[in-house]
Structure 1
Amino acid sequence: MCHVIGEAIEVAVGRRQVLTGVAAGAAASLVLGKPASAAEIVSQRKRIEATKIEAAQYRTKLMLLGTAGGPAFWPGTDRRSTSSAVAVGDAIYMVDCGDGAGRRLQDAWGSETDGASAIKDVRALFLTHLHSDHIADYPTLILYGTFAGLQVKTPLKVFGPGRRGEMEPVFAPSGVAPTSLPVINPENPTPGTKDMTGYLYQAFATDLNDRVRDTHRPDPNLTIVAQDIVIPEIAGFKSPNETPEPKMEPFKVYEDDRVRVSAILVNHFPVWPAFAFRFDTDDGSIVFSGDTCVSENLIRLARGADILVHEVILSAWVDKILPAPRSEVEESIHNHLLNAHTPVEKVGKVAADAGVSMLVLSHIVPGNARSEELQTAQHGFGGKLVIGEDLLQIGVGKKRI
Structure 2
Amino acid sequence: MTSAPRPMTLDEASAHGTRVTLLGTAGGPPWWENSDRSGISTLITVNGAQYLIDCGEGWGPMFRKSGTSTPGFEHGIDELRAVFITHHHSDHTVDYPNLLLLAWHNGSNGLKRPVQIHGPGDRTVLPPIFGQREHQPEVFNPDSPTPGIEESTHRLLQAYATDINDRMRDNAKQDLSEIFEVHDIELPGATGEDPNGDPSPAMEPFEIYADENVRVTAILVDHRPIFPAFAFRFETADGSVVISGDTGVCENLVTLAEGADLLLHECIDLDWVSSLMGPGSPKPDPYLMQHMLAAHTSTDQVGPQAEKAGVKTLVLTHLVPGNTPREKWEEARAGFSGDFYVGEDLMHFGIGTPAPDRAAATVPAALGGQMGRELVGDGRR
- Note if 1:74 corresponds to 2:36: no
Q: Secondary structure at the match of 2:226?
A: coil
Distance in 2, matches of 1:265 and 1:216, equals: 42
Measured in 2, the distance between the counterparts of 1:325 and 1:234 equals: 45
Query: What is the CA-CA distance between 1:234 and the residue it aligns to?
Result: 4.4
| 2:77 is equivalent to residue 119 of structure 1 | yes
Output one character per residue of 1:190-242: Cα deviation in whole Å (capped at 9) or x when no partner. 0000001000111111111111110011111221111100000146x540001
For 1:340, the aligned partner's letter is: A
Distance 1:330 1:393 in 2: 39
Q: Which residue type is aligned with residue 233 of structure 1?
A: G
Residue aligning to 1:31? none
Which range moved further: 310-319 or 143-152? 143-152
2:185 aligned to which of 215, 225, 229: 229
1:342-361 Cα distance to aligned partner (Å, 9 max, x none): 00111011111111000010
Report the residue type matching 1:169 in the other structure. Answer: P
Q: Which runs of 4+ in 1 moved over 6 A?
A: 326-329
* Pick aligned residue for 1:276 from 226, 231, 234: 231
Quote the residue 1:198 is aligned against: 154
Q: Which residue of 2 aligns with 1:141?
A: 99
Which residue type is aligned with residue 341 of structure 2? V
Judged with a 3 Å threshold, the aligned counterparts in structure 2 of structure 1 residues 221 and 240 are, in CA distance, closer, same or farther, namely same
Q: Aligned-pair distance for 1:115? A: 4.2
Unpaired runs of 5+ residues, structure 1, are 1-46
Is this contact kept in 2: 1:313–1:366, CA < 8 A?
yes
For residues 237-281 of structure 1, the C-alpha deviation after alignment (integer angstroms, 9 at most, x for no partner) is 540001111000000000000000000000000000000000000
Distance 1:283 1:234 in 2: 34
Rounded to whole Å, the distance in 2 between the matches of 1:271 and 1:329 is: 24
Structure 1 residue 370: Cα displacement: 1.4
Contact persistence 2:277–2:284 (CA under 8 A)? no
2:77 aligned with 1:109, yes or no? Answer: no
Once the two structures are TM-superposed, the CA of residue 333 in structure 1 deviates from its matched residue by: 2.8
Q: Name the counterpart of 1:367.
A: 322
Aligned partner of 2:222 among 267, 277, 282 = 267
Equivalences, count: 349
Cα distance, 1:328–1:234 mapped onto 2, change above 3 Å: farther
Correspondence for 2:251: 296
Q: TM-score scaled by structure 2? A: 0.88
Aligned: 1:220 with 2:192: no
Deviates more, 1:264-273 or 1:70-79: 70-79
Percent of aligned positions with the same letter in both sequences? 44
RMSD: 1.9
Q: Tell me which residue corresponds to 1:339.
A: 294
Give the whole-Å Cα distance in 2 for the aligned partners of 1:328 and 1:232: 42
Match status 1:171 vs 2:127: no
Quote the Cα distance in structure 1 between the aligned partners of 2:90 and 2:166: 27
Of Structure 1 and Structure 2, the greater helix share is in 1
Rounded Cα–Cα distance in structure 2 between residues aligned with 1:80 and 1:172? 31
Aligned residue number for residue 33 of structure 1:
none
List runs of 5+ in structure 2 lacking aligned partners.
1-5, 357-381
Match of 2:373 in 1: none
Structure 1 position 325, deviation (Å) = 4.8
- Cα 1:387–1:115 change in 2 (3 A) is farther
Q: Does 1:353 align with 2:308?
A: yes
> Which is worse superposed, 162-171 or 326-335?
326-335
Q: Deviation per CA, 1:74-130: give whole Å up to 9, x if none.
A: 1211101100010012110011001101111111135x6334533221110000001
Q: Which residue of 1 aligns with 2:86?
A: 128
For residue 121 of structure 2, what is the aligned residue in structure 1?
162
3-state DSSP class of the match of 1:80?
coil
Letter in 2 for 1:77: S
Contact in 2 for aligned 1:306/1:357 (Cα 8 Å): yes
Asked if the contact 2:32/2:323 (under 8 Å) is kept, the reply is yes
1:256 corresponds to which residue?
211
Answer whether contact 1:127 1:159 (CA < 8 A) is retained.
yes
1: CA distance, partners of 2:130 / 2:266: 25
Shift of residue 53, structure 1, vs aligned partner: 2.7
Answer whether contact 1:234 1:246 (CA < 8 A) is retained. no
